Amino acid sequence: MAARTRLPLLFPKNLPPFRHRKLVHTEVAVKEPQYPPIVPSRTAKSKSALLRQVQEHVQKICASPVEEKLSLITRIQRKKFMVYPQTFARNADRWYQHFTKTAYIPGLPEKFTQAPLKTTGVDQSPPAAARTTTALEIDDDAFRDIRSLVTRVILQEHWHINQRKTFLFREQEMVVGPFLRNLVTELTHSLSRFNPLLRLCSLDINPQVNFYWRRGQRIIPKGHRKGRQEPIRFQIDDKPNSQIRITQQLPQFTPMEASYAAEVPEITLAPNLMPMFRRQYDNNIFTGAKLPDPACYGHTQFHLVPDQYQRDRMARRQQSDQVEVFLRANALASLFAWTGAQAMYQGFWTFEDVTRPFASQAVITDGHFFSFFCYQLNTVALSVETDANNPRKNLLWGTESLRLYDNVQDGEVVGLNDDVIKLLVSFLMNQP
Amino acid sequence: MPVTRLLYPLYQLGNPQLRIFRPKWFLTMVRPGTELPPDTAQFRVPMEMTKYDIKNYLENIYNVPVGAVRTRIQYGSNKKRNHLNQKVKKPDYKVAYVQLAQGQVFTFPDIFPEKESKPEEGSVEEMQNNFMEDEKQRQKPDPRRGGVTEWFGL
């Protein structure tokens, strides 16, 4: 208002600016007030509150050290399916492939087929022109030593020992078990000259391997939680005959991207139709040694075929096709459990997927026939939330059963197969 | 006749192989209530049959290659009561799930398919059907109104 303002008599035309200091912002423009982020409540009885609780739990697990992570993941006990690697169910390998998101590739990876077991100086079969021959790191004399070692072990178990008649259905455990154990220990010792990893390795006899994971969802049919979604939990408790654990990780067999194209069989039926049974007990994740052990990466496992699954018994019941199925299912479950446990020991779990693939090998035998398997774990993220956009799949390579020797006669091993020995050697010589 | 215990011919080492000719057992194949794997068939079998009996029965009489057999006994309820308030027992029965060998697959067939039966010309049913269709046609609103009801005048 003109009347209210007190202007000086000489009203300057150009008023100097910034006359009143109070009207001037001398300090920097005040920042916008920082409000805390708007998140749903934690304790309300709503779906968003539940989601927030789950998220916070996941973040808490991600932020904790490895031991706490393991204990937080395996803390709560609930009913879960027990996955037996040596199962009597038919067509178990398809079911197990679905549970572990594994694709099966017949034959071995290129590492073992490109170097077709050639030692320097040994002449192999004629079609060598087709194969690229890279020599094994052991020389001829060493191979002959190994061959004699194998014959010695076979003869010790089957010829020299004066064995009484074995108990019913315990032949594998009493005869083939010690044979495999001796073979593994002696081979590891003699090959430690060539493979520096084996000098620092840890050879376990009758170890325990456990793994716990969740995959898929089901609707609870009865009870006070009827109608709600529940994740399906699995646990593998495996007891291989022997295993070799090393301090460094084995290199990958193929890059992870190569697994995107692989096919995993999809089974929409519930696991109890397999048949598989549910029980509630301790959730364990164990590679064979506790967490602080330096030999935390796996190299090779050796498994024994139980008496129920001997070839002649299956042939008598006209179920010879199930023999290969059984071996594949066994290798799949055991190796998945082992590599999964190794990954968990490094801190990877469902919500923190593996950054590098974990590789391991297995040999399954029943004394005469040997089958070789290689497994590469590309993903641990198998639960419903993390599996939705996960193109990675785990891979299992496997051979058919190969005969090691025909039989033992008069203190001589008849028909010893060199290829199998070479495959065994190349398996044990696998190093980064 | 007094109730006697039924004892099967007991097998002892050295006895001849137990064989049954012309068994008095009959299997009933049923449609599974829940979804089963494609190589599995479901049967109702008499209570006295064992897994080995079922396997031999199917293999020898019907030439079906059997992989594995699993059985369970279904309890029939004793809860219902009749008009005299007595409990009425539904009989128990044994169910066998048979998994076929050699990769064979089985699905239970559709025994009662839907039949499209057209009534014959000039019969009473056809005239009735036509009449019913005309009535239904009459009940429907005017299609020219485009779904708008009669409540909105004009």
Cβ burial of A255 (10 Å; 0-12, 13-18, 19+) is: exposed
* Residue linked to tokens 């279904």: B74
Q: Which two tokens stand for residue A92?
A: 């178990």
For residue A15, the model assigns a pLDDT of 66
- Which chain B residue has the Cα nearest residue A274? B37
Half-sphere exposure for A189 (CA within 13 Å, toward CB): 9
Largest CA distance in chain A: 136
CB contact under 8 A, A91 and B39: yes
For residue A3, the model assigns a pLDDT of 58
pLDDT over 50 at A223, yes or no: yes
pLDDT over 70 at B2, yes or no: no
Chain B residues within 8 A of A268 when measuring between CB atoms: 35
pLDDT tens per residue across span A373-394: 999 999 999 999 999 899 999 9
pLDDT tens per residue across span A110-164: 888 875 544 443 443 333 333 333 345 678 888 899 999 999 999 988 888 888 8
Q: Can you tell me the distance from the alpha carbon of B75 to that of B87, in angstroms, rounded to the nearest whole number?
A: 15
- Which chain B residue has the Cα nearest residue A321? B102
pLDDT tens per residue across span B73-130: 999 999 999 999 999 999 999 999 999 998 899 999 999 999 887 777 778 888 898 8
For residue B4, the model assigns a pLDDT of 67
For residue A313, the model assigns a pLDDT of 83
Mean pLDDT of chain A, nearest integer: 86
Q: Which two tokens stand for residue B103?
A: 């990769």
| CA A213 from centre of chain | 11
Confidence grade of residue A105 (pLDDT, cut at 50, 70, 90): very high
The number of residues making up chain A comes to 432
For residue A23, the model assigns a pLDDT of 61
pLDDT over 70 at A236, yes or no: yes
Would you list the DSSP string of A347-362? T-BTTB--SS-EEEEE
For residue A221, the model assigns a pLDDT of 92
Instruction: State whether residue B23 sits within 8 Å of chain A by CB.
Output: no
Q: What is the mean pLDDT of residues A409-422?
A: 87
> For A90, which of B35, B36, B68 is closest by C-beta distance?
B68
DSSP state for residue A175 in the 8-state scheme:
I
Interface predicted TM-score of the whole assembly (ipTM), two decimals = 0.80
For residue A119, the model assigns a pLDDT of 45
Query: Mind telling me how many Å the CA of A273 is from chain B's nearest CA?
Result: 7
**Share in percent of chain A as helix, strand, coil (round to 5):** 35, 20, 45
pLDDT over 90 at B147, yes or no: no
Instruction: Provide the strand spans (E) within A120-223.
Output: 202-205, 209-219
Q: What is the mean pLDDT of residues A79-96?
A: 92
DSSP state for residue B140 in the 8-state scheme:
S
Confidence grade of residue A1 (pLDDT, cut at 50, 70, 90): low
Tell me the whole-structure pTM to 2 decimals.
0.85
CB contact under 8 A, A273 and B40: yes
For residue B154, the model assigns a pLDDT of 72
Q: What is the mean pLDDT of residues A287-294?
A: 91
Contacts of A140 (CB under 8 A, 6+ apart): A119, A120, A121, A122
For residue A59, the model assigns a pLDDT of 95
Instruction: State whether residue A106 sits within 8 Å of chain B by CB.
Output: no
DSSP state for residue B87 in the 8-state scheme:
B
pLDDT over 90 at A412, yes or no: no
Confidence grade of residue A20 (pLDDT, cut at 50, 70, 90): low
pLDDT over 60 at B65, yes or no: yes
pLDDT over 90 at A362, yes or no: yes
Chain B residues within 8 A of A88 when measuring between CB atoms: 68
**Choice among A56-65, A120-129, A133-142, A295-304 with the minimum mean pLDDT:** A120-129
Q: How many CB pairs (< 8 A) connect A and B?
A: 24
CB of A241 within 8 A of CB of A302?
Answer: yes
Instruction: State whether residue B33 sits within 8 Å of chain A by CB.
Output: no
| CA B44 from centre of chain | 9
Q: Write a three-state SS string for A56-117.
A: HHHHHHHHCCHHHHHHHHCCCCCCEEEECCCCCCCCHHHHHHHHHCEEEEEECCHHHHHCCC
Higher pLDDT, residue A225 or A130: A225
Own/partner contacts of A411-418, CB < 8 Å, gap of 24 or more, are A411/A155, A411/A159, A413/A151, A413/A154, A413/A155, A416/A147, A416/A150, A416/A151, A418/A117, A418/A147
Q: What is the mean pLDDT of residues A193-219?
A: 92
Tell me the torsion sign for CA atoms A345, A350, A356, A359. Answer: positive
pLDDT tens per residue across span A337-354: 999 999 999 999 999 999
Residue B146: CB atoms within 10 Å: 7
The strand pairing partners of A218, in sequence order, are A230
Q: In chain B, count of helices (H) and strands (E)?
A: 2, 4
Residue B126: CB atoms within 10 Å: 13
For residue A158, the model assigns a pLDDT of 86
A272, A318, A322, A325: which to substitute to probe chain B, counting the most B Cβ within 10 Å?
A318
Select the highest-mean-pLDDT range: A26-40, A168-182, B40-54: B40-54
Q: Which two tokens stand for residue A19?
A: 């006359």
Cβ burial of A234 (10 Å; 0-12, 13-18, 19+) is: buried
Percent of chain A residues topping a pLDDT of 70 = 89
Q: Can you tell me the distance from the alpha carbon of A97 to that of A264, in angstroms, rounded to the nearest whole number?
A: 7
* Residue linked to tokens 């049919």: A221
The strand pairing partners of A375, in sequence order, are A360, A396
CA angle A391, A392, A394 (to 5 degrees): 145
Half-sphere exposure for A79 (CA within 13 Å, toward CB): 8
> For B67, which of A274, A275, A319 is closest by C-beta distance?
A319
Phi-psi category of residue B85: left, alpha or beta, with phi > 0 → left and psi -120 to 50 → alpha? left
For residue A134, the model assigns a pLDDT of 36
CB contact under 8 A, A90 and B39: yes
Q: What is the mean pLDDT of residues A55-82?
A: 94
